[in-house]
Amino acid sequence: MSSQINADFIDTVSGNEFQISLVVFPKEDYHAQRIELARKLSRMFGKICYISMNKPYHTLVEEFHRNGIDSKRFFFMDATPRERPLETSPSAQVVGSSNNITGLSIDLGRLLKKERFDAWIFESIDILRIYLDWDVVLRFIHSTVTKIRMTHSKLFLITALEDGETLSKELIMLADNVIEI
């Protein structure tokens, strides 16, 4: 799929030097790259929490199966906006949605107290910008990064950029490294 998520990428994220990685995909290739990232990380880490702001967990599970990714390695936090509640499962929790950041923060805190994960994928932080002011988004991301950093797990914050767009300096400062694919 992607020649960009390669051995160099694996070497970078598997070491102890970087705990928080900001992974930047081009918007036109976002979905394919997101799948490839999940595939690579599922081979590197035992237990992964996937926070989805973009797709409901059952859609992600189906997508993973179609692409040969072992979804059993993942616990899904489904933070997609919805009109009606979805059923939960042992491998997923429907949480406060992207338009309810306080609920999402509370649910994330509860999960952090209850479960231990080797890695976290937070996809897609761009969605928060649709619903909230950038300052609120940054405070939430900072809080999330701090909470996960205390667990010594790896965190992959996923974002997408159009050609010519640049990352905010504040967002870059929250990460240990930036991986532009």
Q: Of 8 and 155, which is predicted with more confidence?
A: 155
| 169 half-sphere exposure, CB direction, 13 A CA radius | 0
88 band by pLDDT with thresholds 50, 70 and 90: low
For residue range 123-160, list pLDDT tens digits in order.
988 888 888 888 888 999 999 999 999 999 999 999 88
What is the arithmetic mean of pLDDT over 161-174?
Answer: 77
Residue 165 has pLDDT above 50, yes or no: yes
- C-alpha dist (Å) from residue 53 to 15, 17, 18, 82: 27, 28, 24, 11
Q: Of 162 and 14, which is predicted with more confidence?
A: 162
Residue 17 has pLDDT above 50, yes or no: yes
For residue range 19-76, list pLDDT tens digits in order.
899 998 888 888 899 999 999 999 989 999 999 988 888 899 999 999 999 999 999 9
**CA–CA separation, 70 vs 39, rounded Å?**
8
The pLDDT score that the predictor gives to residue 1 is 34
The pLDDT score that the predictor gives to residue 87 is 64
Domain 30-79+92-163+170-180: which topology?
Answer: Rossmann fold (3.40.50)
Residue 116 has pLDDT above 70, yes or no: yes
Take residue 165 and report the two structure tokens written for it.
Answer: 């767009």
What residue ranges do the domains of the chain occupy?
Answer: 30-79+92-163+170-180
Q: Of 14 and 99, which is predicted with more confidence?
A: 99
The pLDDT score that the predictor gives to residue 89 is 76
**CA–CA separation, 153 vs 160, rounded Å?**
23
Return the bridge partners of 156, or none: 21, 121
The pLDDT score that the predictor gives to residue 126 is 82
